A and B are shown apart, each in its own frame.
Chain A
Amino acid sequence: MTGPRMMSTPLSAETALSLKSGEAVLISGDIFTGRDAAHRKLDDCIREGRPLPFDIRGQVIYYVGPSPAPPGKVIGSAGPTTSGRMDPFTPALLDLGLKGMIGKGTRSEAVVQSMVRNGAVYFGAVGGAAALIARSIIQADTVAWPELGPEAVFRLTVKDFPAIVVIDAFGNDLYRTEPPKYRRESRR
């Protein structure tokens, strides 16, 4: 594997289509946080025909609920949470122009199909690599629903956020393609 590819947000359609599953990337620019509670609220906005609290087109959402920021730091430890819980809400966001997601764990068939249809990418961050990821976050601003505490939507300005393209815009999924390559028979 060669060195990681540098990329910036927002994601253009061309960049999204050029990313290949298995590629390591370093992401710089602004990304938005959102986990369970924020996704329910985003979904309420969509169903009630209200605008989302930020323009989602070309953006990347990071599934995270960080630990509290110690004095002098912009954020606490900030590793990914399990993406699957956001699956029911994701296709609608992709249809509105969301281009990328960062999390850990598998995605549903419906999400993968919507990603292919909309040319979007799913990045994996390493679960538990929370102190390392925090180092790449240089600013954190609340965008919506501060009452949700760590589950609020924040705009994070990141520099060289380490991630891996897990599912690309063509539906190639590392969780499906990789484990069989390393499977071996066990003696019994």
Chain B
Amino acid sequence: MREIDVSFVSTAVKGLFLKANTSIGQDVYNALVTALEKIEESPVGRRVLEQIIKNHDAARATGMPICQDTGMAVVFADIGQDVHFTGGDLVQAVNSGVEQAYSEGFFRRSLVRDPLFDRTNTGTNTPAVIHTRIVRGERVHILITPKGFGSENMSAVKFLTPAQGPEGVRDFIMDTVKAAGPNPCPPTIIGVGVGGTMELAAIMAKRGTLYTVGRRNPDAKYGALELEILEAVNNTGIGPGGLGGRVTCLDVHIDFAPGHIAGTPVAVNICCHAARHAEITL
């Protein structure tokens, strides 16, 4: 058994949010540069890509947030079953890390206490949405994303009949992308969860938005479906910023789970070009 003081978790979470909000991952950066240099044909689309890349440079250089919507804090924690947390409450520790990052980084706090009856700001950008998983071993893996809502708002869940198969998944993704148009700040990264129950599909989809650009599902059939859908999304012509062009999406990541014989939930989670995430293993 390994003991980990929760203050260690707080510090880690704080560092991850400070980093993710101000510095984009190199995979996303490189994909944007390739899109500009090798793929985009539209002059307006190229102009948009140029500004997106310059923005990432400016954010890295100044420590200013990439986007003023510094999102809702989402935390995936894979916790080794041989870990024992000491020194306090784990959830509080995660939230305190988020709070400190948003205060020290001068990030916008965008959470209201109650979406319907008390829309006062929580003042801390907490509580975070925390997904924990118990895994083997005595390490803790933390993956975080500040999730912007321009793109979160354009996400969707649907139940397909088992007979609808891959065609049905593809059609649902395409309908979601077309309905979203310019709103999710394309070029996007699309995470898809297929199978399980409603919430499992949604969690897989969120995780899918955080995979490295260029990663393919190890199952060849899903890998091929990812590429086929990526091509179809880019063939919509929506383009960078939705102002027309050949680059609407940087990558599509599909995960699946065993499903019930009677139904196939499909969740589509869209992430904008500010695809901010960071991870650490403790």
Contacts and interface: CB of A to CB of B under 8 A. Distances in A.
A135 B58 contact: yes
Of the candidates B48, B68, B273, the one having the most CB atoms from chain A within 10 angstroms of its own CB is B68
A171 interface: no
Interface string B51-95: 110110011001111111110000000000000000000000000
A105 B183 contact: yes
Contact of A127 (B62, B236, B241): B241
A69 interface: yes
Contacts of B55: 126, 128-133
A178 B148 CA distance: 26
B42 A181 contact: yes
Interface stretch (A9-17, A39-47, A72-80, A91-99): A72-80
A182 B244 contact: yes
A179 B66 contact: no
A29 interface: no
Contacts of A140: none
Contact of A183 (B148, B182, B237): B237
A185 B237 CA distance: 10
B185 A178 contact: no
B150 to A, nearest CB: 6
B113 interface: no
A132 B51 contact: yes
Interface string A147-169: 00010000000000010101000
Contact of B67 (A77, A150, A166, A178): A77
A162 B239 CA distance: 19
A18 interface: no
Interface band, chain A: 35 or more
Contact of A124 (B69, B232, B243): B243
Interface in B135-180: 148, 150
Given A126-B48, A130-B55, A131-B58, A174 B64 contact: no
Contacts, number: 156
Contacts of A70: 63-64, 106
The A interface is mostly helix, strand or loop, or mixed, namely loop
Contacts of B34: none
Contacts of B148: 128
A6 B272 CA distance: 29
Interface string B237-277: 11101111110000000000000000000000000111000
Contacts of B245: 178, 182
The B interface is mostly helix, strand or loop, or mixed, namely loop
B237 A181 contact: yes
A8 interface: no
Interface stretch (A50-58, A60-68, A114-122): A60-68
Nearest to B41: A182
B122 to A, nearest CB: 14
Nearest to B43: A1
Contacts of B63: 70
B235 interface: yes
B64 A128 contact: no
Given A150-B108, A175-B243, A180 B237 contact: yes
A166 B182 CA distance: 12
Contacts of A124: 241, 243
Nearest to A1: B43
A-B pairs with lowest CB-CB distance, top 9: A178-B244, A183-B237, A182-B237, A127-B185, A132-B55, A131-B59, A1-B43, A179-B237, A67-B108
30 contacts: A22-B44, A64-B68, A68-B108, A70-B106, A76-B106, A77-B65, A77-B66, A77-B68, A78-B68, A79-B67, A79-B69, A105-B181, A105-B242, A128-B67, A128-B272, A130-B66, A130-B67, A131-B62, A133-B55, A134-B64, A174-B244, A178-B243, A178-B244, A179-B237, A179-B244, A181-B42, A181-B237, A182-B45, A182-B245, A184-B235
Given A129-B51, A131-B59, A131-B62, 18 more contacts: A67-B68, A67-B70, A67-B106, A68-B108, A73-B64, A76-B64, A77-B108, A104-B182, A104-B185, A104-B241, A127-B150, A130-B68, A131-B66, A132-B58, A178-B44, A178-B245, A181-B244, A182-B245
